[in-house]
Structure 1
Amino acid sequence: MARMTRPGGLGAQTWPELDDRRWTVVVPLGALEQHGPHLPLDTDTRIAETVARRAVDRLAAEGHDVVLAPPLAYGASGEHEGFPGTVSIGHDALRLLLVEFGRSVCRWASRLLVVNAHGGNAHTVVDAVALLRSEGRDVAWWACVAPDGDAHAGRTETAVLLSISPDAVVREQIAVGATARIGDLMGTLRTAGVRAVSANGVLGDARSADPEDGRRIVDGMVDRLVAGARRWSPGDRGVLA
C-alpha cells in the first residue's frame, strides 16, 4: 500500500515517515529572471512547481511513493542579467548544487526527478544528472516544454501564468517583443544577452495569450510528466521520455 505524505510536501514530513529507501523525490527547478514587463521574475519557478505538484498528486493517488521537494528557485540566467531583478547563480554553481542535492537525496530516497522550467538550465542539468547516474544514483530529469511554444515571456508563458497565477500578470503591460526565429537570434543571445535583441525582454508576442490555452498547456505537461514517471526509463541524457 502506498504511504500518504502530509500536505506541504517534503518539508512538512517527519523523518520516520520517510525511513526507508523507496521514495521518489521530485524537485522543481526554476530561475529568478526577467520575464518582460508583464510577468513576474519567478515565472519559471511557478511553472515548474505547478507542473511537478500536480504530477506528484496524481502519482501519489495511483499508489506511487512520491514526495515533492521545495523548489530550487535560482538557475543559470546570465543572458537575462541586462535587466534588473535577475539573479543568476551561473552554470558552475548550479551544477554543484544539483550534484550535491542529488547525492544527499539518494542517501535515503530511491530516486530523484528534477523538473526543469528554465531552458537556460538544461545543459547544466544534463551534465549534473549524467554525473549522478555514473555514480550509480537513479536520477532523471524532465523539461516543462510546450509543443509549438514561443521562446520567452511570449504567448506560451503568458498563457500559462494567466491560468495558474492570474494575479501575478500585469495585463496592461502585455507586449510584443522580438519575433524572429530563436535560431536566428541565438548567436547574439549567447554573446550579448537578451537585451541586445529585445528592449523589453520578450522573445515572442504575448498579446494573444489566453488562459484557456494556458490550462491546456499545463494539463499536457502534467500528462506527459506523469506518463514518463510511470515508465521511468531515462534516455541517454537522463531525460524521461
Structure 2
Amino acid sequence: MTGLDALSWPAVPSGATVLLPIGSTEQHGPHLPFDTDAVIARSVAGVVGERMLAAGEAVVLAPVLAYGASGEHQSFAGTISIGHEALRFVLIELVRSLSSWAARTVIVNGHGGNVPTLASAVPQLRAENHRVAWLPCAVSPAAAPGPDADARAGSGLPAPDAHAGRIETSLMLHLAPTAVTLPLPLPGNTEPMSELLPLMAAGGVAAVSPSGILGDPTGANAAEGAALVDAMVADALRRIAADAPDARGMLR
C-alpha cells in the first residue's frame, strides 16, 4: 500500500482511518536487523490497509514510528530506546495531530515493550474524545498454536516464542529475506518467560541470553512467515471491524 509519506495532500481522503505502525530499533540476535519490529508492523499495517481499501474504506498508512521503549535491550550495541515517558508523549501528540483531519487512528504495534505505554497513552487520548485504539501484530486465539505438537498440527504456524526466535525469524524470511543473516544461529534461552522476567528486570535480556535470542530460530522458514502474516492480518481486520477497545484501548 502506498504510504502517506509518498502522497501529496490533495490525495489524502477525507474521513479516513489512519493506520499508524510502531516498532522499535533494538537488537534481534546476531541474525535479524534492528528494524525487525518496525518491518513487521509496517508490513502488517500495509496489507491491512490494502484489504480495507479493496472493501471501499478510506484508509491512510502513516509512516512507521521506528523508535520505542526497548530498555531491556540497551546493553546490546546499536539499540536505541526512547523509553516509556518519551514514547507516551510522542504518541499523544501524533494522535492529537492526526485527529485534526482523520476520522480515527489505529495504532499497529510490533513491539511488546511498547504495550505499557500504549495502555497508558491511548486511554488518555480516548478521554480527550479522540477516536483511537491500538492492536498487536498477533495471531487470534482461535488460530494460535497450542503448547504441544498435536495442538499445533495443521495450523501452519509455529509455537509462540519471545524474541528473535522462530516466529520473528520466519516473518523476516518472508518479509525481508535479504536482511536475515544465514546460517541461522543456535537457539537462545528457551526457558518460559515467567522464569526469565525477574532476571530480565534486573539485568535486561543480556542477563538471560548473551546472544539476545529468546527462543529457537533454527526451524524458521519463509512459508511459516507467510502464514503468520496472513493470520496477523486476519486478526487485525477482525479487531478493526469489531471496533471494541478494552480499558487499555486495545481492540479486542
Q: Which one-letter code corresponds to 2:85 in the other structure?
A: D
Q: Deviations over 1:96-141 (max 9, x none)?
A: 0000000000011110010001000001011111110010000000
User: What SS does the aligned partner of 2:183 have?
Assistant: helix
Native 8 Å contact 2:21 2:38 kept in 1 = yes
- Pick one of 107, 131, 134 that aligns with 1:138: 131
Match of 2:19 among 22, 26, 30: 26
Q: Which amino acid in the other structure matches residue 17 of structure 1? A: A
Task: Give, in angstroms, the shift of residue 176 of structure 1.
Answer: 0.6
Query: Which residue does the alignment assign to 1:4?
Result: none
**2:150 equivalent in structure 1:** none
* Structure 1 alignment gaps of length 5 or more: 1-6
Q: Counterpart of 1:180?
A: 191
**Structure-2 residue corresponding to 1:66:** 59
Matches within 5 A, 1:65-144: 65-144=58-137
Q: Deviations over 1:56-85 (max 9, x none)?
A: 000011011111000000000010011111
2:26 matches 1:15: no
Counterpart in 2 of 1:210? 221
Contact 2:26–2:78 under 8 Å retained in 1: yes
- Partners of 2:80 and 2:29 lie apart in 1 by 15
How high is the sequence identity, in percent, across the aligned residues? 46
Cα distance in 1 between the residues matched to 2:65 and 2:188: 28
Matches within 5 A, 1:29-68: 29-68=22-61
1:29 partner letter: I
Q: Report Cα offsets for 1:15-59 as digits up to 9, x if no partner.
A: 233374x11110110000000000001000000000000000000
**Pair 203,19 (structure 1): closer, same or farther in 2 beyond 3 Å:** closer
C-alpha root-mean-square deviation of aligned residues, in Å?
Answer: 1.2
Structure 2: how far apart are the matches of 1:204 and 1:10?
A: 35
| Distance across 2 between alignment mates of 1:111 and 1:175 | 43
Matched residue count? 234
Contact 1:195 1:201 in 2 (8 A): yes
Q: 1-side partners of 2:244 and 2:57: how far apart?
A: 16
Residue 185 (structure 1) shift = 0.2
Q: Please report the TM-score for the alignment, with normalisation by the length of structure 1.
A: 0.94
Candidates 202, 212, 236, aligned match of 1:225: 236
Q: Which position in structure 1 is the counterpart of 2:206?
A: 195
Residues 126 and 237 in structure 1, CA contact (< 8 A), matched pair in contact too? yes
* TM-score when normalising by structure 2: 0.90
CA distance in 1: counterparts of 2:138 and 2:182, whole angstroms: 23
Cα distance in 2 between the residues matched to 1:167 and 1:88: 25
Partners of 2:12 and 2:60 within 8 A in 1: no
CA distance in structure 1 between the partners assigned to 2:77 and 2:49 by the alignment:
34
Q: CA deviation at 1:8?
A: 2.6
